Homo-oligomer: A and B are copies of this chain.
Amino acid sequence: MGVTLKQLAASLGLSPTTVSRALNGFPEVNATTRARVRDAALKANYHPNTRAKSLATGRAQAIGHVIPVSTSHEIVNPIFADFIAGAGEVYSRSGYEMILRVVADADEASAYGNLIARGAVDGVMVHGPRVHDPRVDLLAGLKIPFLIHGRTSNVNAPYSWLDINNHRSFHRATQFLLDFGHRRIALINGLEDMDFASRRRNGYLEALASAGIAPDPLLMRQAEMTEPYGYRAAQEMMQLPDPPTAYLASSMIVAYGLRRGFSDLGLKLGRDVSVVTHDDELSYLPNDGDVPMFTATQSSVREAGRRAARMLLQLVTDPDCGPLSELMETSLVLGASTGPAAR
């Protein structure tokens, strides 16, 4: 509980009005008084009460993030931490607060409604969109700026989004493996009701199709992206009569699982079997160096957080700036995990 505007004003022999205007840079106040006010504010460690301010102005100066936790698996996607770190940087710089809600995905809809009806936020960031995500129509109806990290389909309302080019990434990765002579390429995907996973699958299928290869259901999996998931996929698929020679992994974590699976089978990555993974560039799982461990489609999710936050803030400041969108391309970096198809 710091000093209040009124107290500060009294101590200066000024009215609250003038002090408020002095601090907020309004023109109708003498330069010398302004300096005097600023000095006093600094000295008294005055910070305007956020609640009072936003009540008076009608702007909350806060952005809401709703983090879904899948009820079935209780898994928190590790990319949230980095995304939020990126977004948080931008918010702090712009004087916005980030308010976070962790909700079981079933309660997500009500979480948004609640957050907004209470006037707690000026805008909302939507995480983990599904292929057909009802939240978009819901939020559009609530008349509040929002931005999706990812995209969705089969939705009427126009919406703003920032996504990476998942389709192209996995199309390219598949093509890369095909060029190396691989014909049996496995896809170790995330849950395909998630929009990103669905697009990746499509990219993969298209590349196969244009190479005249029929997809093999035995080589396609989807699940929560844990390390053991990758491990099991590797172990089991290698038992197939006609095992894959290359794998597409949906995340570094899964790729690590794959790697361990192969290693336990005595197979060497890049020689006996190839892996291309998507890499969100999480800070504690760097995939760099002269020769990165994995060949990967790379895109920094932290940078995505920064950009998404900037877009959302723009949407908040100028609600009519129309639906915004940005498609980030990934870069395909060559690592040690790929090589020509063994034959």
Q: Is A99 an interface residue (CB 8 A)?
A: yes
Contact B117 A74 (CB under 8 A): no
Q: Is A97 an interface residue (CB 8 A)?
A: yes
CB-defined contacts of A114 to chain B, threshold 8 Å: 47
CB-defined contacts of A1 to chain B, threshold 8 Å: 117, 119
Q: Is A76 an interface residue (CB 8 A)?
A: yes
CA distance A48 to B114 in the complex (A): 10
Q: Is A192 an interface residue (CB 8 A)?
A: no
| Copies of this chain in the oligomer | 2
Known A67-B88, A76-B85; contact A224-B284, beta-carbon cutoff 8 A? yes
CA distance A51 to B115 in the complex (A): 12
CA distance A118 to B55 in the complex (A): 13
From B101, B224, B282, A98 is in contact (CB under 8 Å) with B101
- Count A-side interface residues using an 8 Å CB cutoff: 61
Q: Is A324 an interface residue (CB 8 A)?
A: no
Contact B81 A80 (CB under 8 A): yes
Q: Is A92 an interface residue (CB 8 A)?
A: yes
* 0/1 interface trace, chain A 215-251, chain B, CB 8 Å (1 if under): 0000000001111100000000000000000000000
Contact A88 B100 (CB under 8 A): yes
By DSSP majority rule, is chain A's interface helix, strand, loop, or mixed?
mixed
Contact A118 B50 (CB under 8 A): yes
From B52, B92, B226, B228, A102 is in contact (CB under 8 Å) with B92
CB-defined contacts of A48 to chain B, threshold 8 Å: 118
Task: Tell me the chain A residues, 95-153 only, with Cβ under 8 Å from chain B.
Answer: 97-103, 111, 113-114, 117-120
* Chain B: CB-nearest residue to A55: B51
CA distance A227 to B102 in the complex (A): 28
Contact A99 B102 (CB under 8 A): no
Residues of A within 8 A of B (CB): 1-2, 45-52, 54-55, 60, 62, 67, 69, 73-78, 80-82, 84-85, 87-89, 92, 97-103, 111, 113-114, 117-120, 224-228, 253, 256, 259-260, 263, 282-286, 289
A–B complex contacts, Cβ < 8 Å, 14 sampled: A2-B117, A47-B118, A51-B60, A67-B85, A69-B85, A76-B85, A81-B81, A84-B100, A88-B102, A88-B103, A92-B101, A98-B102, A226-B283, A259-B260
Known: A46-B117, A76-B81. 6 other contacts (CB 8 A): A51-B54, A67-B88, A78-B81, A80-B81, A88-B100, A100-B100
